[in-house]
Amino acid sequence: MTFAFALPTTSPVSFGASFTSSSAPSLPSAATTRRSVFRDSLKRHKRLSPSEQTNAISSIQATIDEYLPYLHTLDAYITSQDVTQIAEFETEWRATLSRRNGPAEPPRVRCKGLDYEISFATATLAYAHSLRARSFIAAALQSPPADSSSTSSSEHMITQATQHMNTAASIFLYLQNRSTTRERSAQSLPADVTTSMYNALWSLSLASATLLAVLKQDPYPSIIAIQYDKTSKEWMYKAPTVPSGVKALLLARLCMYAADMAGKAAAGVASASSSGSELRKYCDDLAKTAKAKACRFLGVDAEVSGKLGEAIGWVVAGKEILGLVVGGDEEKGKLSRGLDKFKKAREERKIEKTQPEGLLAQDAGKMEEAMVLNELEKKWRKINDNVNFDKIKPTASLIAMLPSGRPIFPENQTWTPPKLSSSELVQLQNQAPNDGETDWLRADDSDDDLRPVAESSVQGGFPRSQSTGYY
């Protein structure tokens, strides 16, 4: 439910060569020093294995948090004319969202102006929050909820993941607003820093956060996971409560909201760049998964109410949305070979349990939802064929009955850029600029491209696990 962003890398720059400050003389050089640490951490992170990257994302976030106050303070000083630009400022970043399918590296793009640096560096913080959310989800999957304490721990980790996604959404909203209010030079900008892309990423983050809120109330993925984990003993514990009635309708509306936001994200990515196919496909898949979940919740509510024919129609509708139904009306509900391919791919992508992200995929949870729908349909069809004999409702009429979406998180929550404190500014005012601080920062960084893309690092992956945790 969270996109596996690839963190960008950047070239060395010197703020002192382009800016000078009369009130805080050492601010440009201090910003350069913090940026060099940030840049070095990004390069080191790129060379790590996927499991090591998961464990190191918190340290990456720490270096970003240390650098951004200097960068945004420098920007504020320029606005207030306390900082003077003495030379053209240029910076170079790898546009990871503009990459095409395949192992090829995304392009490096050089642009002029401090706004380009602020956009990429701040967006990297949002990517880091998304990856932190992903690591919390993976941790929640590591162990089955065998008792109340472990269940509470899983819920806490999912709550943490939700908070990180909301923070990412607020950062993307800030960047979106900034891109529309700041005058940009007439230059060709990569899709990564356009208003359309920021709007898409904001929509995608809100969709992910909403589905994480639904995940805490959704017992079915865990129920189905038990059937595919022969070592599980969770059947000995109390069965989870299945949502129905008002709760099921509320969850369905939340899923529809997530589907709408993911659809907007896909459209935004498409308008921003035709080459962002990986991210666009992930948004499309997430929209389908969320809409299929809404169908499932409505089907569960219909089954509890004794409307088994309608319930079967809802799960078939969910599978149609996922593109997993073949045949005419007499064959409605039969899975195509797509699910078998999903399952085969899942086995081929197994990773040792020591790696926190368990199994990786790039389908935004489509396979898991397909498995849940398939199991529910098999169970309900068996009962209906032998006991109820209810007529299965046409899927077209049911899909037309899907409710409107409902947000659960505020959409206007904007991130506030950090600034240096008064005491830190006083310290910078009393320090002389370090004229030689950039000599070692100008070292060649061509080795940035040496590390090949790891086969197990799947762009847009969704964390999976053989355990019977929340998913």
The per-residue pLDDT for range 120-174, each reduced to its tens digit, is 999 999 999 999 999 888 887 665 544 455 567 778 889 999 999 999 999 999 9
pTM of the model: 0.84
Tokens of 342: 């999903």
User: Can you tell me the mean pLDDT for 387-414?
Assistant: 90
Confidence of residue 225 (pLDDT cuts 50, 70, 90): low
Digit-coded pLDDT (tens) for 27-43 = 999 999 999 999 999 99
8 A C-beta contact, residue 122 and residue 167: no
Q: For residues 151 and 161, what is the distance between their CA atoms, to the nearest angstrom?
A: 15
Q: For residues 257 and 263, what is the distance between their CA atoms, to the nearest angstrom?
A: 10
| Of 283, 249, 269, 267, residue with least CA distance to 194 | 269
The pLDDT score that the predictor gives to residue 343 is 54
Sign for the pseudo-dihedral over CA of 376, 377, 381, 384: positive
Q: For residues 279 and 291, what is the distance between their CA atoms, to the nearest angstrom?
A: 18
The pLDDT score that the predictor gives to residue 237 is 41
User: Can you tell me the mean pLDDT for 188-202?
Assistant: 90
Digit-coded pLDDT (tens) for 48-102 = 988 888 889 999 999 999 999 999 999 999 888 888 899 999 999 998 887 655 5
8 A C-beta contact, residue 19 and residue 29: no
Percent of the chain with pLDDT over 70: 72
Percent of the chain with pLDDT over 90: 46
Residue, of 33 and 456, whose pLDDT is higher: 33
Domain 19-449 of CATH type 1.25.40.280: yes
Write down the residue that tokens 């209810």 correspond to.
390
User: Can you tell me the mean pLDDT for 231-237?
Assistant: 45
Residue, of 187 and 111, whose pLDDT is higher: 111
Confidence of residue 452 (pLDDT cuts 50, 70, 90): very low
Distance separating the N- and C-terminal Cα atoms of the chain: 11
8 A C-beta contact, residue 414 and residue 178: no
Digit-coded pLDDT (tens) for 349-377 = 443 333 334 333 567 888 888 888 988 89
How many other C-beta atoms are found inside a 10 Å radius of the C-beta of residue 413?
13
Return the minimum-mean-pLDDT range out of 45-54, 183-192, 194-203: 183-192
User: Can you tell me the mean pLDDT for 297-311?
Assistant: 91
E strands present in 63-134:
83-85, 90-94, 108-112
Q: Is the pLDDT of residue 24 over 60?
A: yes
The pLDDT score that the predictor gives to residue 62 is 95
Give the amino acid at 224: I
Q: How far is CA 11 from the centre of its chain?
A: 26
The pLDDT score that the predictor gives to residue 138 is 80
- Integer CA distances (angstroms), 141 to 137, 358, 444, in order: 7, 8, 42
The pLDDT score that the predictor gives to residue 274 is 58
Return the minimum-mean-pLDDT range out of 10-14, 228-232, 273-277, 429-433: 228-232
Q: For residues 100 and 320, what is the distance between their CA atoms, to the nearest angstrom?
A: 28
Across the chain, mean pLDDT equals 80
Q: Rounding to the nearest 10 degrees, give the CA dihedral for residues 428, 433, 439, 445.
A: 30
The pLDDT score that the predictor gives to residue 360 is 39
